[in-house]
């Protein structure tokens, strides 16, 4: 039996586009002599469709995609993920299902059993879990159809569920497993995914074909990395990361095993490629092409500019250099050097005169008050207005350049440097931004070394440095990681050898600045716990405040 895996980039609600991709893949697989082609979870709708699933018309359009796939299935079997209607009056109205289509009709449907409701997932909001499990008969073979999470309670130390769907199917003696998946990227996910798939194969002794999404849906990025694992537990093949791919496999060869095809990528390379994918798809799927950002000469805006140029093309990236009386001359020079190296348009708009107008109007009210964060925020908001003015006038999307460390402790100005349609580095700690900069410069100097080596500063007052207000980032970031990613409490972090007063100060800053994160742009998710949809915290709360 010849089996094709189609790892594709879907677009939520773009039924015509999603179906067109699948039809082309079916045509290619048929021409290659495949018996079966496998698409991923909710391929008809794109993932995650969220409350679109509550629209009857949305489900109707998905069902029409299934009907069209039936019409091209005379000579090839098709496995595809799509919602299906629950005929029972009790429970949720929909299932998250895997369809087997062949000879012009749906031959088998298996519903998803394990519905994740953690981190970025909220599937029990929409779907009813499966209550029965049956293998699918196809050309003399028995297929155990599973949907994403259905395999993720095997090989873990702390199982979330009380049932394992594949355990229920094994008495029917399936020949192989197909898992249709929509598993979002984080920099640990590829390693975890391989572990989970291999754990299932070792448990059941039959091969698995695992098909994942690729591409991005707003903040969620999918890396692909679809897998074929042989009964001996070896990875027979791993599809590319961050690109569409259609690949064919002979089941008989997979059964023999013996191969070990796993790509090795560093954490920073994965983050780099994921951010480019996220940028590219955010613009393409929204119908935009051009970006703008403020380029300060610092490392965050420099890395963002490089990623944008690589994702969108330098001709589609524009930057504003907006020096104030507090900006150093080398910051402007570094920004100009980078813009010229990248071949992106830059414009210099000094903001001192605008700032002076604000201060003149406010001086009667500020009389007798010393300069403080108010004047700093005015500068940041002037820059935000200028960026948004160009954005509105010329149809550019403003990119936010705030990193995760700054976002965590509120080191940013609402309606100023926190403006933007997309947060590029909001899930990348400052220490990781430095690693990204070195990765970008690995073959040649793209980002000026001065942007990397100089002490980080917002340059909003004379001789300002980030360390005036914050701990050094190599101290700050590990504490943030323990609190945000690992959900460690203050005493646990203190017991690791950290200064108690410092820990409590940092954690308090994280909590009291939740209101800012509620008002900022969607954050491209690259870590196991990103700000945004995967971290739900109250704004008004007393914990550590």
The encoded tokens of residue 441 equal 């410069």
The encoded tokens of residue 518 equal 């509620």
Residue tagged 């903040």 (tokens): 219
* Stretch (H or E) spanning 342: helix 329-342
What is the chain's alpha carbon radius of gyration, rounded to the nearest angstrom?
Answer: 26
Distance CA 412, CA 521 (A): 13
* Stretch (H or E) spanning 423: strand 422-423
Cβ atoms of 15 and 44 closer than 8 Å:
yes
Catalytic hit among 21, 38, 41, 238: 41
Catalytic hit among 38, 65, 112, 285: 112
Q: How many helices (H) and strands (E) does the chain have?
A: 17, 19
DSSP structural state of residue 41: T
Cβ atoms of 426 and 306 closer than 8 Å:
no
**41 counts as catalytic:** yes
Sign of CA dihedral 453, 458, 459, 464: negative
CA-based max dimension of the chain: 87
Phi, psi (rounded to 5 degrees) for 51: -75, -5
Cβ atoms of 180 and 38 closer than 8 Å:
yes
Catalytic hit among 38, 65, 70, 148: 148
Give Cα 77 distance to the centre of its chain: 31
**149 counts as catalytic:** no
**148 counts as catalytic:** yes
Distance CA 15, CA 21 (A): 10
Catalytic residues, by residue number, are: 41, 112, 148
């Amino acid at each position: 039996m010849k089996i094709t895996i189609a790892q594709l980039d879907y677009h939520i609600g773009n039924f015509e586009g999603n179906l067109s991709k699948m039809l082309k893949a079916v045509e290619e697989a048929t021409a290659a002599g495949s018996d079966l082609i496998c698409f991923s979870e909710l391929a008809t709708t794109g993932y995650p469709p969220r409350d679109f699933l509550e629209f009857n018309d949305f489900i109707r359009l998905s069902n029409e995609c299934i009907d069209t796939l039936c019409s091209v299935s005379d000579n090839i079997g098709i496995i595809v993920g799509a919602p299906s209607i629950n005929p029972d009056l009790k429970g949720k109205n929909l299932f998250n299902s895997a369809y087997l289509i062949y000879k012009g009709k749906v031959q088998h449907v298996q519903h998803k059993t394990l519905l994740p409701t953690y981190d970025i997932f909220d599937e029990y909001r929409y779907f009813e879990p499966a209550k029965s499990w049956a293998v699918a008969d196809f050309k003399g073979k028995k297929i155990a159809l599973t949907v994403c999470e259905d395999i993720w309670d095997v090989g873990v130390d702390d199982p979330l569920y009380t049932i394992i769907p594949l355990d229920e199917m094994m008495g029917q003696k399936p020949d192989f497993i197909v898992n249709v998946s929509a598993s979002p990227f984080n920099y640990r996910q590829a390693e975890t995914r391989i572990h989970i798939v291999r754990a299932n194969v070792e448990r059941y002794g039959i091969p698995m074909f695992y098909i994942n999404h690729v591409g991005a849906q707003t903040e969620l990025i999918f890396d692909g990395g679809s897998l074929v694992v042989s009964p001996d537990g070896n990875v027979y093949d791993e599809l590319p990361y961050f690109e569409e791919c259609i690949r064919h496999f002979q089941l008989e060869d997979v059964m023999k095993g013996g191969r070990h095809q796993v790509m090795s990528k560093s954490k920073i390379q994965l983050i780099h490629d994921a951010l480019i994918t996220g940028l590219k798809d955010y613009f393409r799927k929204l119908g935009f092409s051009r970006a703008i950002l403020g380029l300060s000469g610092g490392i965050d805006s420099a890395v963002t500019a490089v990623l944008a140029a690589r994702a969108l093309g330098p001709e589609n990236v524009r930057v504003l250099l907006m020096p104030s009386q507090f900006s150093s001359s080398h910051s402007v020079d570094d920004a100009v050097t980078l813009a010229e190296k990248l071949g992106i348009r830059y414009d210099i708009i000094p903001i001192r005169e605008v700032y002076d107008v604000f201060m003149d109007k406010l001086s009667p009210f500020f009389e007798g008050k010393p300069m403080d964060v108010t004047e700093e925020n005015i500068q940041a908001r002037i820059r935000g207005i200028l960026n948004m003015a160009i954005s509105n006038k010329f149809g550019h999307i403003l990119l936010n350049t705030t990193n995760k460390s700054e976002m965590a402790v509120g080191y940013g100005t609402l309606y100023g440097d926190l403006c933007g349609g997309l947060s590029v580095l909001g899930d990348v700690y400052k220490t990781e931004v430095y690693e990204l900069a070195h990765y970008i410069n690995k073959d040649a100097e793209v980002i000026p070394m001065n942007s990397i080596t100089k002490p980080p500063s917002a340059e909003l007052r004379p001789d300002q440095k980030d360390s005036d207000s914050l701990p050094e980032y190599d101290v700050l970031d590990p504490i943030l990681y323990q609190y945000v990613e690992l959900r460690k409490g203050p005493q646990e972090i203190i017991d690791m050898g950290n200064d108690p007063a410092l820990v409590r100060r940092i954690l308090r800053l994280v909590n009291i600045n939740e209101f800012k994160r509620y008002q900022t742009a969607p954050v491209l998710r690259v870590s196991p716990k990103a700000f945004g949809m995967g971290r739900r915290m109250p704004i008004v709360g007393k914990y550590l405040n």
